[in-house]
Each structure stands twice: as C-alpha cells, then as structure tokens.
C-alpha cells in the first residue's frame, strides 16, 4: 500500500509515475553523489590538497552532463578569501607517547605553528580555582588565573575545563582561543570538540585532548608538539551555478542551494570527510538537478547554486548575493539543503514560522505523500529564522527562503567520523518527493 500511495503522490504532483524500482532512483542517485563527494580523493572538500577545487569540478561536470545552462562561459563564480590551513605532518607526544591526530587530539584552528620538544608542564585545576565564586569575585579570580598562565616557561594542562567553562557562562567552540592569554596549553575535554576553519590566528596555541589520554591527563609531565599552520590570504574558492530554463520564457526563478565545502584536513592524517555536512545536501541538490533537467517547470527557471566556503562563515552565499546573476527579487523562493543523510525522524524547516503560507504547502505536500491527514513524516518541524546556513544571506536581502534539513541518523558533525558509510539515507526518497511536491505547489500561486 505504501508503494501505491507513493506512486499516486507522484501523479498528483504532475510527475510521470514509474515502476517501484524507479521510485528508488532518488536514493540511488543521492548515494552515488554522496559516496563520491565524501570520498578520500576530495580530502574533506576543504582547503588542503585542492579538495574544494576538485569537488567544484565534479559538480560542474555533473551540471554539464545533465545539460544545465550557465550564466557565462562556465558554471563557476570565483572569489578570493583568507583561510588558515594545516597542511604538513602533525606530531604531538605526551611523556614520549605519540598521539593520533583526529583520534586523540585536535589542535585549536586559531593556533599558530608549533615546534617544541619535551617541554615541562604545569597543571591547573580550573574548577578548584573558582570553587564557590560568582559575580565580581569570579571575574576577579579569572584575572588572577590569567596572570598565572602568563608564565610561558610551561605548557599548561588545564583540568576540569568543561566545568570551568560552564561556570564562566562561556559557550561555543571558539571560547578558549578568545579568552586565554598567549601561551601553550593542553585542555583535556570529555568529548571531542567540533573542529572548524578560521581566517585568522589568535595568541594561545591549544591542543584539545580527549578519550583515554584526557582521562589520564594527571600523569602528563612532558609535551612535544610540531605542526605547521599557514594563513593563506588569497585562497580561490568557487560557487558552482547552473539552471534549467522554464518551458515558457520566464525571468522568475526557484533556487536550490547547498554548500559543497567542508573543513578538509588537519595535517596529513586527520580527514574530515563531511558526509552528512554537507555531501548529503549537495548530493540531494544534484539529484534534483537531474529531475528538473528531465522535467522543467512551466513558469519558473530552476537554479542550482553549490556554495563554497560555507564553513568559513557563509562566504560563498554572501558573495553571491552581492554579485547576483540576476536581480534577487526575481527569486520566487529559495530552498537550502544542508544535512540530508537520514530522515528517519522527520524533516526540519528553518524559517517555517516566517513564511506560514509556504510552510502550509510543505505540510500539504507531506499529506499527499501518504494520502493521509497525518502525513508521511510524523515530524515536520516548523523552525524560527536562523543565520546558520546559506539561506541566511539571501533571506537578509529579502529573498523568501527555507532551510530544510533531515532529522535522524548518527549525528556525527565536524569530526572524522562523519563518513558516507554511517548514513543510511532512510526516507530520502520521500524527502525528495516532499521537495518536488512543494515546488509544484509554489507554481500554483
């Protein structure tokens, strides 16, 4: 029965009804692109070993094979940006025992190059330093702590950092580099921190320690570290842009965006493959490009923007809205796809509460998939606005936009475990159909 309703939903959306084997095409296509983009040869689609460059080439070749049109001589929109890169080999050893990058430790991505051997350490229990303090007394003690940490003759091992951070009211992954004085630090943490990319250096050089080595950090008495960090000021990134013309001549667009970049590599061994974030969303966008290349809309051109440098601060989408291929007010609606690896628990719609009329179309599309009042997905989360992905620069310029992401899966994010094999693509066929029906409903206006 589920297969029958799925086919009926396709027919109701004005799409040709294939056999059930063909209904698996969305997942098959998404899986193929996902495995490719999250594969080893793209080096995490970041700033190391031309990973982002090769990923852009793959997307452009896919556009070309599908027959997408470009707005110029090719599909690329290049721009320059600064970026901090860790390209060389990394070596960190505690008491003479060499650690594994990405498995035992992460270097804070604001850290400058380091090259020291067998340096003595000093231990500080941060939680004990501030026990029972709050308000002005807590702030005063923190100033005293920073004075102690200014002794750069040691590598400081800062214990109970998670508790201290909570007591200080600090949040976010950039906290320590923004607050610690210049010096070298080992910070044991309970969970691997999120790694990210930066565009500047800060004064403290920090190594985050986790796992068994973090639990045994009391025994550290000697540290060696050697790694090279480079601030490249003229890194060339490229948005990759193509479109499918409407059946009838039109200057109006429905736009799909997905960032294809990730955070690349930390040294030579720690690769952040970025399968969920966001090879999956890019794979879904390429799947939709294939669909609309074969099934153009009547009255809207359909545009696809594979955004670069989202991880560095939405830089690709920010660049696009300042250098658009056509006036932004010609966009009927923008659909951003970021994290599309598993919809077992539903779909979330950021900006859903800002565009109630369009959100109701999403709910109607969900009901059509299963031909039931409850809808196929038991959860379609109606979100507030949030500047957390590539829809945000467009929305800030007045473009109506939703950011769709799937809910489910292992939840690996900005760590080395986010690999293609961990994503089951549960309910991805139905999630793709949700988008297709939603787009058709946008045409009804």
At 269-322, the pLDDT tens digits run 999 999 999 999 999 999 999 999 999 999 999 999 999 999 999 999 999 999
| Residue 445 binned pLDDT confidence (cut-offs 50, 70, 90) | confident
Q: Mention every residue, 6+ apart, whose C-beta is less than 8 A from residue 50.
A: 43
Is 80 exceeded by the pLDDT of residue 415?
yes
User: What is residue 182's DSSP assignment?
Assistant: S
Is 50 exceeded by the pLDDT of residue 1?
no
Please give the C-alpha separations between residue 252 and each of 14, 248, 287, 406, in angstroms, as whole numbers: 20, 11, 22, 28
Q: Which domains does the chain have, with CATH numbers?
A: 2-81+233-443 (3.40.630.10), 91-227 (3.50.30)
Is 70 exceeded by the pLDDT of residue 2?
no
Is 60 exceeded by the pLDDT of residue 228?
yes
Long-range pairs of 144-150 with CB within 8 A, sequence gap ≥ 24: 146/180, 146/181, 148/124, 149/124, 149/180, 149/181, 149/183, 150/181, 150/182, 150/183
Left, alpha or beta for 381 (phi > 0: left; psi -120 to 50: alpha)? beta
The neighbouring-strand residues paired with 116 are 225
DSSP sequence for 101-123: BTTTEEE-TTPPPEEEEEEEEEE
Q: Where are the beta strands (DSSP E) in 89-193?
A: 91-94, 97-98, 105-107, 114-125, 155-159, 183-188
Lowest-pLDDT range of 30-44, 53-67, 190-204: 190-204
Hey, what are 61's tokens? 């070749």
- pLDDT one-digit tens code per residue, 131-180: 999 999 999 999 999 999 999 999 999 999 999 999 999 988 899 999 99
Q: Mention every residue, 6+ apart, whose C-beta is less than 8 A from residue 83.
A: 47, 197, 198, 199, 231, 232, 235, 312
pLDDT at 429: 96
103: Cα separation from own chain's centroid? 20
pLDDT at 13: 52
Q: What's the rounded mean pLDDT across residues 234-260?
A: 98
Is 60 exceeded by the pLDDT of residue 22?
no
- pLDDT one-digit tens code per residue, 114-143: 999 999 999 999 999 999 999 999 999 999
pLDDT at 20: 40
Lowest-pLDDT range of 16-20, 261-265, 291-295: 16-20
Please give the C-alpha separations between residue 39 and each of 290, 299, 400, 421, in angstroms, as whole numbers: 21, 37, 34, 10
pLDDT at 19: 38
Q: Rounded mean pLDDT of the chain?
A: 94
* Integer Cα distance of 284 and 281 in angstroms: 5
* Integer Cα distance of 220 and 224 in angstroms: 11
Is 50 exceeded by the pLDDT of residue 82?
yes
Q: What's the rounded mean pLDDT across residues 70-99?
A: 97
Q: What is the pTM of this model?
A: 0.93
Please give the C-alpha separations between residue 143 and each of 131, 181, 202, in angstroms, as whole numbers: 15, 10, 19
pLDDT at 9: 55
The helix/strand/coil state of 7 is: helix
* Integer Cα distance of 283 and 30 in angstroms: 5
What is the layout of strands, in order, in the sheet containing 105-107? 97-98, 91-94, 222-227, 114-125, 155-159, 183-188, 204-209, 105-107
Query: Under a CB-based contact definition with an 8 Å cutoff, are residues 314 and 392 in contact?
Result: yes
Number of Cβ within a 10 Å radius of residue 133: 14
pLDDT at 24: 57
Is 70 exceeded by the pLDDT of residue 4?
no
Share above pLDDT 90 across residues of the chain, in percent, rounded to a whole number: 92
Query: Under a CB-based contact definition with an 8 Å cutoff, are residues 277 and 258 in contact?
Result: no
């Amino acid at each position: 029965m589920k297969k029958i309703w799925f086919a009926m939903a396709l027919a109701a959306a004005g799409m040709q009804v294939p056999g059930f084997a063909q209904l698996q095409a969305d997942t098959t296509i998404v899986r193929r692109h996902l495995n490719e983009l999250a594969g080893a040869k793209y080096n995490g689609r970041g700033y190391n070993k031309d990973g982002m460059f090769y990923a852009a080439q793959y997307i452009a070749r896919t556009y070309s094979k599908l027959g997408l049109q470009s707005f110029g001589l090719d599909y690329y929109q290049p721009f320059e940006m600064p970026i901090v890169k860790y390209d060389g080999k990394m070596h960190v050893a505690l008491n003479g025992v060499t650690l594994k990058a990405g498995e035992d430790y992460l270097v804070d991505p604001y850290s400058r190059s380091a090259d020291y051997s067998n340096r003595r350490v000093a231990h500080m229990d941060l939680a004990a330093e501030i026990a029972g303090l709050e308000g002005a007394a807590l702030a005063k003690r923190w100033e005293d702590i920073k004075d102690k940490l200014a002794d750069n003759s040691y590598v400081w091992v800062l214990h109970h950092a998670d508790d201290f951070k909570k007591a200080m009211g600090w949040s976010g992954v950039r906290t320590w580099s923004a607050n610690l004085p210049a010096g070298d630090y080992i910070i044991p943490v309970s969970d691997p921190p999120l790694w990210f990319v930066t565009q500047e250096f800060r004064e403290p050089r920090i190594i985050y320690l986790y796992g068994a080595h973090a639990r045994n950090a009391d025994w550290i008495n000697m540290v060696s570290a050697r790694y090279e960090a480079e601030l490249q000021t003229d890194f060339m990134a490229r948005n990759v842009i193509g479109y499918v013309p409407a059946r009838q001549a039109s200057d109006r667009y429905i736009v799909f965006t997905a960032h294809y970049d990730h955070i690349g590599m930390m040294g030579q061994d720690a690769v952040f493959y970025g399968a969920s974030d966001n090879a999956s969303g890019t794979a879904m966008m390429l799947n939709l490009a294939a669909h609309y290349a074969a099934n153009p809309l009547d009255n809207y051109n359909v545009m696809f923007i594979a955004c670069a440098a989202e991880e560095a601060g939405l830089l690709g989408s920010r660049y696009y809205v300042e250098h658009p291929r056509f006036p932004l007010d010609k966009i009927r609606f923008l659909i951003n796809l970021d994290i599309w690896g598993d919809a077992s628990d539903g779909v979330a719609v950021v900006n859903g509460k800002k565009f109630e009329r369009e959100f109701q179309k999403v709910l109607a599309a969900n009901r059509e998939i299963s031909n039931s009042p409850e809808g196929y997905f038991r959860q379609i989360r109606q979100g507030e606005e949030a500047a957390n992905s590539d829809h945000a620069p467009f929305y800030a310029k007045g473009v109506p936009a939703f950011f769709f992401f799937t809910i489910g899966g292992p939840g690996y994010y900005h760590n080395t475990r986010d690999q293609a094999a961990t994503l089951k693509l549960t309910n991805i066929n139905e999630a793709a159909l949700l988008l297709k029906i939603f787009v058709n409903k946008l045409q009804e206006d």
